[in-house]
Structure 1
């Protein structure tokens, strides 16, 4: 079925139908939301971005969009722990509720406003703001920026608690298989935390996200059928009545420009041009994850001792004030480059990159797979443990360094295994196959292109 046009001729000329979007203000959530906005704008929709003052996007990078800032009253600085991050999400919902209601009402009451607006696409962690939109007659669609497998974990959490998997009471439980959600082990579940307080907070967060999706008019996922066919089928079964649109990989299919909150050092691309094919280990632990100074030092010396060329995107604040150890620069001179932040999608697509050491966030895992690059995963929190499990045991395109304190000898062995062994070359072949499947999904007539068409038609059907 061909997608409808997102504008309608009137006596005053063509009238564009408008989609409202509201991302939660973390880099790993902002990027996919802007990519969805880019897809819809490319299909003819006007786009209005509601956003918090915290981590506000730069409107000058997206001149075709309208921007509506929503006061949040929150202090600057990103949360540093699981509990603080969850409480920050709850605080965003609460503090933005009234100002969002006022600004949405003003938009709808402007001349032609209510007639133009088709729907709100909001991050699934913004349940309160989705409720505000529905109260004002605006249909809502939920965007989850993780995998379909991860959302199945969200939905299964009450059952997992009932069956005694959660909360974890002993270290010995962590490696037990979760028979209802293979290939997960207990340690890979979302609600495995260090305290009962954190467990309760995370369970509330997951329940609210499930409610946001279940009460929405549609569910958008940054994945594709060939990558998660079984998990997508199970998600559709469990969400009977809510249409599911797998439109990924968004960073490949969307025409949106960068929405990075950090300045990217593009000089690293010139450095990569001078490196041998598939020789460089790219290292980045994402925009929110953190590590101790001790782990940073062990990671650095493990990489140095591997003698492997590397590009390290070392985000300011990653190690809570710690820096790379003394002597690291001299030891790696001539075969390593450290930058503050890198254009990751371009780096992973570069022919010189042969491996990716990542925290295992979904955006990074998807970008690694699409780039055909095998991964070394060091998960920190949230969905990262489950993603690392899929990279290693389902995709068989990488290695997981699970939990515990990093040790330089283990890092060195893992880097050599990924970059120089026959097993690593086999992982690289499987990663390249994943990249080929992603390319097929976004090609004309591919599964994700078809899903985008269905999404556009669905949004048009919501417009009154």
Structure 2
């Protein structure tokens, strides 16, 4: 058959919100589509693209950019989240439309826009060009359900009492996404999180970065009212099913990891002895909380690897990073290869902010967690980590000070690192690791859903 007469492949534009935690899962989904014969193009903003460090794993996925209205500095140049979102919501649709027009002219033309649910205006662009529109949710089923109920007016906010939602355990106010308990904290982000559900009645697909088996009752509830499918976890294939060759990392990173120092240090530590501490790419801890965490780690006498971003380093206790006790027991780095750390035999526990990507990675790799959520969806994820998946503990917060004390951190670290407690958690961890691996493996729940998506795209081409 001549090339000109061959049927066109479906071509998906994968539009991510400009942050590391949103680029990673959408890029992994793009790799899955590429593996199944779909042409994919990753799209993000000019501002974030200038900070990305690429790797060889992404050479087959082209990157295109649109404008958020702050091409030189992104959200940091906007003055406030509200100003950033207002400008992005005006400029984004215009420049996305211009990109689609260029690709139609240049070829191959896009047939679908898979857009981050934070950017619901992308559906209007898809409709304008008669493309398939698929919303991609980077948070868990449970969290999506909470925000969906809020958008529909079925949930009274601010939340001040126990909440009962379909298919979910009872949620106390401290288990809810923080923005729904304190609406004034981040008003711009609160609106964005709720409004991501505003036009789902018009979308062709709703894709969620989770495995069906992690939250089946909520997934079933969504499937009754929306074209909802689970397609995750979007963790590099090497750590799950190994069907994508050399897929050991996400591929684009805002931060450069201190790989050699980290892995050399880990290799000198006994099996299961290291506490790994990371609060992700965005969470900003109070100075008081940083001090309590530092003292808790010190008192526990555990080996610890602590990721402290450069922007957070000044919050450490004076002299802590360079003192003799820290150098003997701990290593502090500005960033590290988290997946390689989580699978290392020296690792015993993950102290996490409970961002959904980190939670999915720990679930997929069978790592017990100490859950210290900071904001937005993280408290709900922590509830599931402790009470549903039974993969870890959540330290109590000192209500007067609003922090987890060093004494509480020390107590929880010692408890989780005890042989009997760790054995129970590791058993649960092993169960969830198999479940997530099977979900993305050939014929698994997520794999079948991706196959269905690809087949429907092919039928539309």
Instruction: Determine the structure 1 residue equivalent to 2:220.
Output: 233
Q: What is the 5 A alignment of 1:4-403?
A: 10-11=3-4, 15-56=8-49, 57-58=52-53, 61=56, 62-74=58-70, 76=73, 84-85=80-81, 88-110=84-106, 112-114=107-109, 117-158=110-151, 164=156, 166-168=157-159, 173=160, 176-180=161-165, 181-190=168-177, 192=179, 196-198=183-185, 201-239=188-226, 242-251=227-236, 252=240, 255=244, 257-267=250-260, 268-318=262-312, 321-327=314-320, 329-401=323-395, 403=397
Q: 1:425 to 1:313 in 2, by over 3 A?
A: same
Matched-pair contact (CA < 8 Å) for 1:119–1:462: no
Work out the CA distance in 2 between the residues paired with 1:79 and 1:290.
15
Work out the CA distance in 2 between the residues paired with 1:26 and 1:146.
14
Q: 1:446 to 1:406 in 2, by over 3 A?
A: same
- How far off its partner does 1:188 sit? 2.4
- How far off its partner does 1:234 sit? 1.3
Q: 1:188 to 1:219 in 2, by over 3 A?
A: same
Matched-pair contact (CA < 8 Å) for 1:167–1:199: no
- How far off its partner does 1:58 sit? 4.6
- How far off its partner does 1:379 sit? 0.8
Output the TM-score relative to the length of structure 2: 0.87
Q: Secondary structure at the match of 1:376?
A: strand
Listed as ranges, the gaps of 5+ residues in structure 2 are: none
Q: Secondary structure at the match of 1:310?
A: strand
Matched-pair contact (CA < 8 Å) for 1:141–1:213: no
Q: Deviations over 1:22-70 (max 9, x none)?
A: 1001110000011011111111222222220122145664222222221
Work out the CA distance in 1 between the residues paired with 2:454 and 2:407.
51
Instruction: Determine the structure 2 residue equivalent to 1:434.
Output: 432
Work out the CA distance in 1 between the residues paired with 2:199 and 2:414.
44
- How far off its partner does 1:413 sit? 0.8
Listed as ranges, the gaps of 5+ residues in structure 1 are: 1-7
Q: 1:398 to 1:129 in 2, by over 3 A?
A: same
- How far off its partner does 1:361 sit? 0.3
- How far off its partner does 1:199 sit? 7.3
Structure 1 counterpart of 2:407, from 406, 409, 413: 409
- How far off its partner does 1:391 sit? 0.3
* Stretch of structure 1 that moved more, 353-362 or 412-421: 412-421
* Stretch of structure 1 that moved more, 182-191 or 34-43: 182-191
- How far off its partner does 1:106 sit? 1.8
Matched-pair contact (CA < 8 Å) for 1:392–1:400: yes
Q: Deviations over 1:98-128 (max 9, x none)?
A: 2222221121233x444xx220111001111
Q: 1:456 to 1:436 in 2, by over 3 A?
A: same
- How far off its partner does 1:77 sit? 6.2
Work out the CA distance in 2 between the residues paired with 1:312 and 1:178.
35
Q: 1:446 to 1:95 in 2, by over 3 A?
A: same
Q: Secondary structure at the match of 1:333?
A: helix
Q: Deviations over 1:378-426 (max 9, x none)?
A: 1111110100010011011111135522311111111111212523431
Q: Secondary structure at the match of 1:410?
A: helix
Output the TM-score relative to the length of structure 1: 0.87
Matched-pair contact (CA < 8 Å) for 1:104–1:133: no
> Aligned residue pairs: how many?
441
Q: 1:395 to 1:183 in 2, by over 3 A?
A: farther
Q: Deviations over 1:313-334 (max 9, x none)?
A: 2122136x42343245321223
Q: Secondary structure at the match of 1:381?
A: coil
